[in-house]
Amino acid sequence: MHPSEETLHAWLDEALSPQESLTVQAHVQTCAACRTRLQRIQAVFTALEQLPEARLSRDLAPLVLQALPAPQMLPLPSLVVQVLVSLLALAWGATRLQPAWPSINLRTFWVTWMTWRPPHWEITTLPNFSLHAETSLVWILFVCTLLLGAAGNALLLRSSSHSRRRMP
């Protein structure tokens, strides 16, 4: 069975798996018709590489960018869910610190924060691997991730839509 045009192109581009590549190579070595097809494909690519670079009379980039649809903002329900989950995580973290609130002042807060060792959170999903992380670290990272997702995406999309509008 002869390889298809797509397979020959993929073989020239070295985009086939090693097994497929060996199969095509063995076939091309024994089949004169496929060798001719392969030489024709290679001749087209050689001719294309020898063509001079075309110069356009004007820059088409602004026209292409204007034709693209403007990026959409994060849907409001998704944003609301992210903010609510962030607030819930903050509230949960605050309740964990609530017993210490009456004794907290600015100086002792920093020392307490730096020396506090809450119970460890352990993930043991794999039999020979466990990951230990402080509970406070877990909820702080969770909240930061959600806030970055909610605010960061909106800011990035907003700035990219503003920059696109400024193009001539």
Q: Give dist(CA 117, CA 23) in Å, integer.
A: 61
pLDDT at 158: 63
Q: What is the pLDDT of residue 31?
A: 92
Taking only the tens place, the pLDDT of each residue in 66-97 is 898 877 766 777 778 888 888 888 888 777 77
Evaluate if pTM is beyond 0.75: no
When pLDDT is averaged across residues 58-64 and rounded to a whole number, the result is: 88
Q: Which residue has the higher pLDDT, 21 or 104?
A: 21
Q: How far apart are CA 67 and CA 23, in angstroms?
A: 44
Tokens 């994060």 locate to 74
Mean pLDDT of 16-32: 91
Name which residue leads in pLDDT, 50 or 121.
Answer: 50
Contacts of 134 (CB under 8 A, 6+ apart): 117, 118, 120, 121
Mean pLDDT lowest among 12-26, 66-80, 107-121: 107-121
pLDDT at 157 over 90: no
